[in-house]
Structure 1
Amino acid sequence: MQALHLSAFSATSALGIGLTASLDALAANRSGLVPCAFETVRLAAYVGEVPALADVRLPAALADYDCRNNRLALFGLAQDGVADAVRSAAQRYGAGRVGVFLGTSTGGILETEQAYRQRDASGAFVRPPSYRGSHTPYALAEVVSRHLGLAGPSFVVSAACASSAKVFASAARLIEAGIIDAALVGGVDSLCLTTLYGFNSLELLSPEPCRPYSAARRGISIGEAAAFALLERPAAELPPDAVLLGGVGESSDAYHMSSPQPEGRGAEVAMQAALASAGLTPRQVDYLNLHGTATSNNDAAEGLAVTRLFGNGVPVSSTKGATGHTLGAAGALEVVIGALALRHGLIPGSPGSDPIDDTFDLDYVLTPRRQTLNVVMSNSFGFGGSNASVVLRRAVMQGDA
């Protein structure tokens, strides 16, 4: 595929609000996970919550879209100049030539949950939920497009935990086809009762901060996040720290609704496709951000796939011990973490993962490692066998003139 420039990007999660805070936390190997005290939830679990959302309000013109997910989206867009960069792109190309492609899983379902709790004695809603503005997945792309004054193609991908990795491929295809000139891609997912109690019913929630790839891993910690990137064709001259989207690979193994194919075959196909898309070999990857959910089956399947493709020749880690599993936002969040890794020469560690499961023959990075990076890959694998891998690379590779 044609490489695209990440001309602006940002991430907001429990780890930090914006790039500077997120980078500082990654460099210090901190975790943003805390005991769950969200809403009315009473579970022995840890979550990655963005506490600043309590003070966020939508503009009056967007009041019909008010929900935690959309507040998180606009709050995230306000960081690191992303909104300004998108509006500037719309001025250059035209508002109809900038697309919006976002991933989420449950969107604004928290508003519906709260509305059902507030029914009167007859069962009628005291405060009816806004189905279009908050509950429907597309509400996310609509509120972002309206907020930024965009009129280009827009849609939301809801493919579980691969959602906001897959949108990078969607945007690349539309830019290559000439339908648009730039795209805002990303993912937003916020805490709600459906996911917390749902994963608890599957016996997948860890009673302690999650420990990806650890011999003592006990399940996931759910988080929330908003992460965005503006994709454009590269200019003739780029800044020295410019990050490019090199390739994306997707696969659908459809092995089981909630369990991965045990040998990670679908994951391997996605990684191979991403490398082929980028015109790279496994040996050229300097760091791999694993999907790494800290569940027994997921880590085992991904570990087998990574070992077959890379051996133990690439440093790997999972940052979900720092951010929690942000579900539909995880792909975009971890791509942005990969962009930070490239720009600052930092391989993130994996808080809480010590001791590593010795059945994995991997160069697993527990504490941050400083080294020059040219190529980074990020994995995102979702329920139902929806898999995506994203490859980033430096615009000027080490050793280039």
Structure 2
Amino acid sequence: MKISVIGLGYLGAVHAASMAQLGHSVVGVDIDPRKVAALAAGRSPFYEPGLDELLAEVGATGRLTVSTDPAAVAGAQVHFVCVGTPQADDSNAADLTYVDAAVRGLLPRLAPGDLVVGKSTVPVGTAERLAGMVAAAQPEAALAWNPEFLREGFAVKDTLHPDRIVYGVPDGAAGERAVAQLDEVYAAPLAEHTPRIVADYPTAELVKVAANSFLATKISFINAMAELCEVAGADVTLLADAIGYDARIGRRFLNAGLGFGGGCLPKDIRAFMARAGELGADPAVAFLAEVDDINNRRRARMVELATEVLGGSVAGKRIAVLGASFKPDSDDVRDSPALEVAARLGAAGATVTVTDPRAIENARARHPELHYEPDLDVTVTCADAVLVLTEWREFRELDPERVGRLVAGRVVLDGRNALDRTAWQAAGWTYRALGRR
């Protein structure tokens, strides 16, 4: 099929390259010339494992082209809308400016039989409104909603080999045609027996935000238990191990620490609450306000813990912060807990040096007042305390004895409960972590 992808950010770039890998002819469009130039040269404009290799593969086939010209979508049969839905400046609601603009830009170029497919995470009710716009412009075109479930660090795999595919389609013949077109788009993963769910618009819109809200709740639950463990003298890691054996609960995402960040979970649960309020269903998701609050309290608690272990004040202390991205295998620093903790410590008078395998430049753009160092050994040299705030593998596997020879004081704060506490203590380190004695 000939496919267009509107928006070449994190979602769109991965989707466009993956669709080309699946054999489709793809044109990607974005208003940012920097992104377009990078992709045209076969380079990802952001760090995502495996994406550069995928771009090189599809580039050799000629099946992927990119452009800043909206007219480039002409002739495509399926148009994927993959633009961002950031949090609005003046509320918790999602800002739909980019989604609306992308769809309006498509309208004059739609042909009979075309399918517009939304992948962006939007408030429930958005698809119905956009479907009306599509029908008014081209009665023989249709709109479907096909939510994305990408995990940063695994986005290529999640697109080529998804764990489920959801279609939100209209009733009747238009919906049947939309399902047939999407089945053709996703023929390869469907042949691998990927579960496919065909639903109405509202259900498809709610799937992503419901999944993110559940995940955020699970993460905040174990962090709430960490708060209780700290005052009770218990160990949250052992607690998580114990309850994780219950098959109804499971152990995944029960690692207490700094909590979640990034461009999805925080803004998605806030937008979910905002939309529920607009629909008069506030009580149904009121618990998400506490989920959000617990998550934010973890950052403040890490600053308090650093202050405590450094004698009551961080002023004038040299602190090495390992990690700037919100999670490993990503250069994304949006709402990064690690970077916020570093900034708070700097504001409190500490001399903070941040290192990260991929995210230094993005972090510098957000917090230029901090010092950044790509070399890990230089970062920790003469540090009074080392804070591990993003669980990159190279940080998890550090040799505590070797690092100990570089620092001024053997004090480590494990913000992700990712280190081997026994090994670090055996090397003479004072070890502290959230939720552990």
Judge same fold: TM > 0.5, yes or no. no
TM normalised by structure 1 equals 0.30
Which one has a larger percent strand, Structure 1 or Structure 2? 1
Structure number with higher relative contact order (C-alpha < 8 Å, ≥ 6 residues apart) = 1
TM normalised by structure 2 equals 0.28
Larger Cα-atom Rg: 2
Which one has a larger percent helix, Structure 1 or Structure 2? 2
